[in-house]
Amino acid sequence: MDLSTLPLVGPLLHGGADLIAALTTVLSPATGSFAAALAVVLLTLAVRAVLVPLSVLQVRAERDRRRLAPRIAELRKRHGKDSERLQRAVQQLYTNEKVSPLAGCLPVLAQAPVLSLVYTLFTHASIGGTANALLDATLVGVPLGHSLVVTLTSPLWAHAWVVVVLLVVLAVVVELSRRANLRWNPVPAPEPATAVPGAAATAAIARYAPFTTVVFAAIAPLAAALYVVTSAAWTAAERAVLRRVVR
């Protein structure tokens, strides 16, 4: 099924393709073969700039959760063995304090449509019956529509280092962001008497869940990986600034 023929999706794909093509044309005289990749990076930066107000709300919600952390710790001591009761008590606390536990997800949710658009643009051979010219764009010899897996299993495998470097950068940024989040929002170790069943498994999931973005970037088109890496770097820098200036 050609998604570009759908009433709502079609215009979005055409608009996205035209925007990236126009940026590529503008950048080509100065950046040559890097123009299309830089167009994706600029698109990412533009999206993140628009979403700064949501990031401010995210940091404010983070501060509220820090303020409520001692009270949540008390609730864990009181209801630690009854997970359902604990969940209801925490939710009631958030409601009473007018704190949204979902505020931290707003920038991610807002970016999802744009990332999906980039992913789709670089995985379709045609858009509305016309050959997708974006698939001809490359970054150091790797087509922007190729993932790491595809590149390694193609004659272009020698150029796979480009994608590997991006993935390494992404992994480093994710780990630095994870550590910064822990410093800003330290998670106290539960006392043995109040330990919640399954807490160890939950902690392990929380430790490695952020790296799912690296897995996604490895199997997604290079253009989508560029979006993810750029967005992750923006998030790390933005969070460091906002945590100091937002009150």
Confidence (pLDDT) at 168: 97
Region 137-165: what's the mean pLDDT? 95
Q: Which residues contact 172 (CB under 8 A, 6 or more apart)?
A: none
Confidence (pLDDT) at 187: 60
Mean of all residue pLDDT scores within the chain? 86
Residue 131: its H or E element:
strand 130-131
Bridge partners of 127? 130
Most confidently modeled range among 53-62, 156-165, 178-187, 200-209:
156-165
Region 8-17: what's the mean pLDDT? 82
Lowest mean pLDDT among 37-46, 100-109, 132-141, 143-152: 100-109
- What is the residue range of 223's domain? 3-245
Q: Looking at the predicted structure, is the pLDDT value of residue 166 above 80?
A: yes
Residues in the chain: 247
Q: Looking at the predicted structure, is the pLDDT value of residue 3 above 90?
A: no
More confident residue, 1 or 87: 87
Tokens of 221: 């088109």
Q: Looking at the predicted structure, is the pLDDT value of residue 133 above 60?
A: yes
Confidence (pLDDT) at 26: 96
**Nearest in space to 11 (alpha carbons), one of 170, 127, 154:** 127
The Cα–Cα gap between 41 and 25 comes to 15
Give the largest CA-CA distance in the chain: 67
Q: Looking at the predicted structure, is the pLDDT value of residue 226 above 70?
A: yes
Domain count, the chain: 1
Confidence (pLDDT) at 191: 52
Q: Looking at the predicted structure, is the pLDDT value of residue 128 above 80?
A: no
With H, G, I as helix, E, B as strand and everything else as coil, classify residue 143: strand
Lowest mean pLDDT among 15-19, 86-90, 161-165, 176-180: 86-90
Residue 149: how many CA atoms within 13 Å on its side-chain side?
8
Q: Tell me the pTM.
A: 0.85
Percent of the chain with pLDDT over 90: 53
Q: Looking at the predicted structure, is the pLDDT value of residue 192 above 70?
A: no
- CB distance 94 to 72 below 8 Å: no
Confidence (pLDDT) at 66: 83
Q: Looking at the predicted structure, is the pLDDT value of residue 190 above 60?
A: no
The Cα–Cα gap between 200 and 124 comes to 42
